[in-house]
A and B are shown apart, each in its own frame.
Chain A
Amino acid sequence: DIQMTQSPSSLSASVGDRVSITCRPSQDIAIYLNWYQQKPGRAPKLLILATSNLQSGVPSRFSGSGTGTDFTLTISSLQPEDVATYYCQHSYSAPPYTFGQGTKLEIK
């Protein structure tokens, strides 16, 4: 199994701040890293596929970068509606595709 480690586990930032969340898989996964956003009481929503491919309708303030064993989700200017828990997930080779433990993002 590929283990996914996210940091930090929680984060508090102000509106307008630049926010970054890191994900580190336990082995090289090339670019096969996805990011999901989950708001309280809701199903997860796919934000970014394969490191940096922003899904349709996702605001451009979200971006992803990285390769191998080091990936980052960045929100360039935090908005109140971005309050959520963010999960990384690998999609390297065949399933199973494990998730990270999540990063809870709050507004200061």
Chain B
Amino acid sequence: QVTLRESGPALVRPTQTLTLTCTFSGFSLNTDGMCVTWIRQPPGKALEWLALIDWDDERYYTPSLRTRLTISKDTSKSQVVLTLTNVDPVDTATYYCARGVGWERYDYWGLGTLVTVSS
């Protein structure tokens, strides 16, 4: 059974660094074709694709946030970590992680975690 769960702070102050962890089970990021992606959704707004890490440790980022985002994996812990530096209130969103079969097929998602950026 595939599951993913996002964890991290619910509240972050502006200019701080946000660190989110996706803990997954039921698959391995060492398996060819497996990926984990992060997608966010500001309240009442559309989905925004953020980053992806694949089985080969290739990493991809959305260009608009490329300088602020880092994605990494710890396969021994079945975790993927996303960091976003210098956060701003516009970064307030529900952050989802999802499993990718290949880069494009996001078949299992976490429940999401709401992060609010506010002073």
Q: Interface on A for B, CB 8 Å cutoff?
A: 1, 32, 34, 36, 38, 43-46, 49-50, 55, 87, 89, 91, 94-102
Count, chain B residues at interface, CB 8 A: 23
B111 touches A46 (CB 8 A): no
B47 touches A102 (CB 8 A): yes
A98 touches B49 (CB 8 A): yes
B109 touches A91 (CB 8 A): no
CB-nearest residue of chain B relative to A102?
A: B46
CA distance A45 to B106 in the complex (A): 8
Query: What is the 8 Å Cβ interface bit string for chain B, positions 69-112, against chain A (1 contact, 0 not)?
Result: 00000000000000000000000000010100001111101111
B46 touches A99 (CB 8 A): yes
B20 at the interface (CB under 8 A from A): no
| Majority-rule SS of B interface residues | strand
CB-nearest residue of chain A relative to B105?
A: A49
CA distance A62 to B110 in the complex (A): 24
| Majority-rule SS of A interface residues | loop
Nearest CB of chain A from residue B108's CB, rounded to whole Å:
9
B109 touches A99 (CB 8 A): no
**Chain B residues closer than 8 Å to A36, beta-carbon distance:** 47
A46 touches B46 (CB 8 A): no
Nearest CB of chain A from residue B98's CB, rounded to whole Å:
8
B15 at the interface (CB under 8 A from A): no
CA distance A98 to B64 in the complex (A): 12
